[in-house]
Each structure stands twice: as C-alpha cells, then as structure tokens.
Structure 1
Amino acid sequence: MRGDPPENENAMGPTRVRDLSILAAVIAVVVFLVVRISYGSMPPLPLLAGIVLYVLAALEVVIAFVVRARVAGRQVGSHHGQLHPLTAARVLALAKASAILGAIATGVWAGTLVYLLSQQGDLAAAEHDRPGTIIGLIGGVLLAAAALWLEYCCRTPDDPSDDLVT
C-alpha cells in the first residue's frame, strides 16, 4: 500500500557525496567565522598539521585493495584465510566514519583557507599559515575519497545499490 513505510526504512545505504559536501560546507562557514574572530590569538599552524589525513587515506586505500580482492574472489566467510563478515562490517563502519572525518577536515581547512586568502598581504602570519592549510585541505579531500572507495569495495558483487553519487 502507498501509506506503508518502505521495507528497508532503517537499512544503512551508501554514503552520499552530497551529504558529505553539505557537511563540509556548513563546517567551513562555521570555521571561517570562528577563525575570523579569533585568528590573532591562535598559534601558528604547523606546515604538516594535516599529514595524518594522508596517512589515514593511504591506509584505507591499502585496506580497500585487500577487501576488493577478497570480495571479488568470493573469499568472504568464517574459514581461515577468508575475510570474516564481522571484519567486513567493521571495515565498512571505518569507511563511513572516515568519510565523515574527511568531510569535517575538508570544511575546517577550507574555512581557514578562505579566511587566510581574504587576508592577502595584510598579515605575515596568514602567509605563513597558507601552505599548511592547503596541505590539510588536500588531505581531507583525499581521506573522504579513499573512504568512499573503501566503502564501495565492501559491496558484494551482486549488490544492486549503485547510487553512490546521488
């Protein structure tokens, strides 16, 4: 019937790029406003402040290759040498959490960078902080992308949900 809720109303679906983009945009606006008010009292940003995002993205890419090979080879099960279903669920949870972390980090670094770019020539501190901010921004985007790919690799070969970018 039309009034009945869908059967899989509470089912977890693929992370949507649109949702991550909205989250990053909201965080960027909030961070821009906070940095605008308090930049003078903030310590200098280290050049490699966002390097941990690159490390996490690289780890997720490696995990994605392993999961993808096991899923494609139908080596998912509880036998020795197979990818245990509980491990696959944990990897999926890691991917979803990392996608959110990547979106938040992207928003933080983007909001900071927009403020720093608006201070062009006004502050020597802003010029000093720009390279580290750009490194962090790229790291956030890479982490979100790696997490989305890891999530995609967790799908079963006959999974009908191909709407990752809706």
Structure 2
Amino acid sequence: MGPTRRRDLAVTAVVVAVLGYVAVSLLYRWFPPITAWTGVSLLAVAVVEAAWAFHVRARIGDGKIGDGPGRLHPLAVARAVMIAKASAWVGAVAVGFWASVLAYVWPRRGELKVAGEDAPGVVVAVLSALALVFAALWLEHCCKSPDDPSEDADGVSGRLPGTG
C-alpha cells in the first residue's frame, strides 16, 4: 500500500463536481437551507486528524513506537493511516460536491434570495472539506516511518525496482 496520490484525489473531486453540478441544477429547489454549520463537521474531523498527526509525528520522532506504557502501538499508527486514507477520499468527494453547489449558487446569489443566503454556508463547507483533505494527507505523511525512502508528490519512489 502506497501513499494516497493527490492526482487521484483531484480527479475524483473534479468528476464529482461535474456530476454534482448536473444534480444540483436539477435538485437545488428541494435542498434544505445551507447554513455556516452545514460543513463544520468536516472541519471538526480535520482538526482532530491534524492534532493526531502532530501527536503521531512527535511519538515517531522520539522513538516511542512499540508495545508498552507511554508508547504508541504500531497498530494504532496503522489504523491512523487507514483513517487518513479514508478521510482523504471522503474529503475529495465532499470538495467536489460542495464545489458544484458553490458553482451553482455563487452566480445566482444576486438574483435568487435563497442562493444568496446559502452562499456563505457553501463557502464554509468547501473550505472545511479542503481542510479535511489536507489534514488527512498530513496525518498519512506523519505516520511514515523515518526509514521510508523519500517519495515525490505522486507517491512514486525515486529508486528503481530492485535497487533497494
């Protein structure tokens, strides 16, 4: 299992945004009101993941990974990686969806009263979803062992196979 590729997340967000825009265009009139609180749950998860990332990074840096008191169990780190990967994908889908809503609402905020009322909440949701993606990628990065070979932004090792 390799690091989550940013390119794959970006493609997912764009595909969801395009499909979402079509859906929003057809279904927006039945949407409930979108408030600033709508996307805050994504931001809360992002904050928790970022805090956990700093904790894991500090433990790895101090060499306090292992089984025993005061140490971070390796399975906890592995679970954090899985949570980070899942959160990055959920965040990418949420970014795409909320970007599609923003693309629909923003140009109409002057002519449709409801679009003007929804716009600030949609902006908060987009930013919260972006924060979740960044926090998830940061957590995944912080879970790497100090012995891992360096990898570029696409998750491809700079070494040739078999050159260890």
Deviation by residue 1:60-87 (Cα, 9 ceiling, x = unmatched): 1110111001111121111221111111
Structure 2 CA distance for partners of 1:126 and 1:46, relative to 1, 3 Å: same
- Residue number among 122, 129, 141 corresponding to 1:133 in the alignment: 122
Q: Is the 8 A contact 2:109 2:119 kept in 1?
A: no
Matches within 5 A, 1:75-86: 75-86=64-75
The answer to whether 1:156 aligns with 2:122 is no
Q: Is the 8 A contact 1:71 1:156 kept in 2?
A: yes
Which residue in the other structure is 2:32 paired with? 43
Q: Give the stretch that moved more between structures: 141-150 or 116-125.
A: 116-125
Structure 1 residue 46 displacement after superposition: 2.1
Q: Distance in 2 between matches of 1:140 and 1:150?
A: 15
- Residue number among 96, 112, 117 corresponding to 1:107 in the alignment: 96
Q: Distance in 2 between matches of 1:95 and 1:52?
A: 16
Structure 1 residue 165 displacement after superposition: 4.1
- Calculate percent identity across the aligned residue pairs: 44
The amino acid of 2:23's aligned partner reads: V
Which residue in the other structure is 2:158 paired with? none
Which residue in the other structure is 2:135 paired with? 146
Query: Tell me, which stretches of 5 or more residues in structure 1 are unaligned?
Result: 1-11
Matches within 5 A, 1:89-100: 89-100=78-89
CA RMSD of aligned residues (A): 1.2
- Residue number among 116, 128, 131 corresponding to 2:105 in the alignment: 116
Q: Distance in 2 between matches of 1:43 and 1:55?
A: 22
Q: Distance in 2 between matches of 1:161 and 1:149?
A: 15
- Residue number among 26, 30, 39 corresponding to 2:19 in the alignment: 30
**Matched residue pairs, number?**
155
- SS of the residue 2:36 aligns to: coil
Q: Is the 8 A contact 2:12 2:93 kept in 1?
A: yes
The amino acid of 2:98's aligned partner reads: W
- Residue number among 27, 30, 49 corresponding to 1:60 in the alignment: 49
Tell me the TM-score normalised to structure 2 length.
0.90
Q: Distance in 1 between matches of 2:15 and 2:50?
A: 27
Structure 1 runs of 4+ aligned residues shifted over 3 Å read none
Q: Is the 8 A contact 1:14 1:163 kept in 2?
A: no
